[in-house]
Structure 1
Amino acid sequence: MSSQVVSQTSYEIPKTQRAVTFAETHGPHTIQTDWPVTQPSELKPGEVLVRVVYSGVCHTDLHAWLGDWPLENKLPLVGGHEGSGYVAFIGPPLEGAEPCTLKVGDAVGIKWLADSCLHCEECGKGFESSCGQAKNSGFSVDGSFQQWAVSWGAHLTPIPAGFPLANAAPILCAGVTVYKALKEAAILKGEVVVIPGAGGGLGHLAVQYAKAMGYRVIAIDSGAEKEKLLASYGVTDFIDYQKGDVVEAVQKLTDGAGAHAAVVVASGSQAYEQALQYLRPHGALVCVGMPPNADIRANVFWTVVKSHRIIGSYVGNRQDAIEALELAAAGKVHTTFTIEPLANLPSVFERMHALTLNGRIVLDLQ
């Protein structure tokens, strides 16, 4: 393995690099050793070259490889959108835009949202991910499963000083996604939020952000290891979905009243069906996990009578990412992760698909 990558005021940029790519949906992954590096002279206005040090692996990366979504990604593709590293070179400024405030050597994060126009109504309201010109890392543009990645200065997220890059990586998608979803639930301190999929990559962060925001957490997952992991975060209400009726268990834990919100990060559609049954009146179902070919079936009468809110929550905006990182850097949220080499990515996908991963996997790209 190469020497530790550190912040520098200048970088010697190679012609080639290590990367993991695939050329067809559900096709073989190729461990590249001579993948081309975009050279400084090739950077377009607004683009920044980042020396990626670590990259988290998200379930979205697996969905892209499997072709689960009704959207087409670029091929061949370098996946990944939880990249943490350092600014290595800054391209020319965009015409009419403010100069880039980043400096070479700054610690930054590459997120799912790689770029947006920042001028349309959606961007103006803070919904940059819904911009008609949005680009997505590791989907429509190459992402962070490579040592040198091109991103866009306006959307790179500064990483707080002293916060380890490996710890920051999972926050850049998993963390900001669940943080935004909890904000969308719009519940009050002390109220009950149920988190199906609580022991996974998104879920183990969601329970911590929920507790940091003052909510009472009921965690749903399966297995003694995940129960133990969640207990280490102070979660006392755990439901094993393989050992009984989930709806009945939530009702029992809430004295029959039901939950104020459910933030579903599970990858199975049954979690959505159950949530609509255990929500109390005026409860919110916040949809985050995206099982392939899944639908939400809500009875119109009871949705109206109970005034349920069904909310789709995409990734957070630029400010959400800053806030999510600040909470983690302050020690209020701790990522449980294992560092593995970049070449292990195919194995990581196999374990993720089998639902055997606890916490998050972070790839070392040094």
Structure 2
Amino acid sequence: MLFLARLRRTSRIPGSTIRDLLEILVIRALRPPALVAVASLCHTDSVVTEDGFPTTLPCTASHEGADVQHFPIGARVMAAIPRNACGKCRSCQGPNDVHQYCQNLQGFLGIDIDGAFAEYLLCDARTSTTIPDNVSFMDAAPLACAGVTIYRAIIVSKVQKDGWIAIVGAGGGLGHLGIKFAKALGLNGVAVEARDEGLEVCKEAGADYVLDARKGKNELVEAIRAFIPQGPGVDATVNVSNADTAAALAYALTKMHGTMVQVAQPDNVIIPFVELIFRDIHVIGSLIAGSEVSQDMLNLVALHGIQVQKNVFHGLPEVPKMI
């Protein structure tokens, strides 16, 4: 989610917060919030509405979109989803790209704490990033979640330039960005999708090969053997599909000693033991991204003019139509 950081030049603004109708209203000084320019709807928002997370109501949705020293007033920034990491735990003391795993976070925007479907937003400046001048708010909003999530998954797969990466579920928000990022990073991209509309999205995104998952695992494995004979199989797969068979398919398409990055969040990730043990394929989970990787992604988008496929709704009254 995107916003303008601290537009007002005042260091404090009067405000109040009330959660209980019987609570006495007290006006107090608050740090200026960020003015929201664009916010996006994520699949996770629908998971929240279906009680997939222990969200306490009321809670404002959307996570795509305080003594701030590294952002000037009026800066265009992309808000990170995590807020208020403790700074002391093992994750916080580790590399920047694992800070989002802090177990003592105040919460995640739109899940545990209020998100960006509002005029103003309180976010964490430590994990937010600068939007390059040639990236619009409209393009940057979905990148706050979908973009950083799929970009980090590609990075942690460690596929080298000219290597092969497949994305299972490539015809959606994360997947089409993954294809574009992979191509911008100099990788060969294989898109796997099970919907006619999604297959067209994959082609438009620039995938080197587009495979229809409805043809079945065995036929897809043979198709990959045909164009990657030195494999057989891709160097890594990224699974962004919640389908029951998606993880097993991703595994089957990966070469021996390769890597499968699991991003989708089904109830269970099902992988045949033969694939796991006899082919020595490594499984990695990946969660959004730290600020440095997020900034790298935005810079890549700016450098290559990457466009995000969007379905635009104008104004907060349109939020119910999105859902």
Question: Which segment drifts farther, 154-163 or 132-141?
Answer: 154-163
Cα 1:302–1:340, aligned 2, differ >3 Å: closer, same or farther?
Answer: closer
1:130 maps onto 2:104 in alignment? no
Matched with 2:185 is: 213
Query: Which of 265, 281, 296 is residue 290 of structure 1 equivalent to?
Result: 265
- Structural mapping, 1:1-366, within 5 Å: 10=8, 41-43=29-31, 49-68=33-52, 71-83=53-65, 91=66, 93=67, 100-125=69-94, 126=96, 127-134=98-105, 135-242=107-214, 244-255=215-226, 257-291=232-266, 293-299=267-273, 302-341=275-314, 342-349=316-323
AA of the residue aligned to 2:142? P
- Counterparts of 2:182 and 2:262, CA distance in 1: 16
* Secondary structure in 2 matching 1:226: helix
* Secondary structure in 2 matching 1:254: helix
- Counterparts of 1:14 and 1:248, CA distance in 2: 63
AA of the residue aligned to 2:108? N
Cα 1:8–1:131, aligned 2, differ >3 Å: closer, same or farther?
Answer: closer
- Counterparts of 1:296 and 1:253, CA distance in 2: 22
* Secondary structure in 2 matching 1:330: helix
Structure number with greater CO (CA < 8 Å, separation at least 6) is 1
Cα 1:335–1:104, aligned 2, differ >3 Å: closer, same or farther?
Answer: same
Count of residues in Structure 1 that have an aligned counterpart in Structure 2: 302
TM-superposed deviation, 1:332: 4.6
AA of the residue aligned to 1:132? Q
TM-superposed deviation, 1:304: 3.1
Cα 1:238–1:40, aligned 2, differ >3 Å: closer, same or farther?
Answer: farther
Deviations 1:175-231 (A, max 9, x none): 111110011111222222111111101111011111112221111113443333322
Query: 1:250 touches 1:259 (CA, 8 Å); kept in 2?
Result: no
Deviations 1:50-74 (A, max 9, x none): 1001011111111111112xx4122
- Counterparts of 2:218 and 2:238, CA distance in 1: 15
Query: 1:160 touches 1:326 (CA, 8 Å); kept in 2?
Result: yes
RMSD: 2.6
Q: Unpaired segments of 5 or more residues in structure 1?
A: 17-37, 84-90, 94-98, 350-366
- Counterparts of 1:227 and 1:234, CA distance in 2: 11
Matched with 1:356 is: none
Matched with 1:96 is: none
- Counterparts of 1:14 and 1:231, CA distance in 2: 51
Q: Unpaired segments of 5 or more residues in structure 2?
A: 17-25
- Counterparts of 1:8 and 1:157, CA distance in 2: 14
* Secondary structure in 1 matching 2:123: strand
Query: 2:77 touches 2:130 (CA, 8 Å); kept in 1?
Result: yes
Deviations 1:107-131 (A, max 9, x none): 1112222231233321222211111
Cα 1:268–1:343, aligned 2, differ >3 Å: closer, same or farther?
Answer: farther
- Counterparts of 1:40 and 1:11, CA distance in 2: 18
- Counterparts of 1:218 and 1:340, CA distance in 2: 31
Greater share of helix: 2
AA of the residue aligned to 1:275? A
* Secondary structure in 2 matching 1:123: helix
Greater share of strand: 1
Query: 1:40 touches 1:49 (CA, 8 Å); kept in 2?
Result: no
Cα 1:58–1:39, aligned 2, differ >3 Å: closer, same or farther?
Answer: farther
Q: Calculate the TM-score normalised by the size of structure 1.
A: 0.75
Cα 1:182–1:175, aligned 2, differ >3 Å: closer, same or farther?
Answer: same
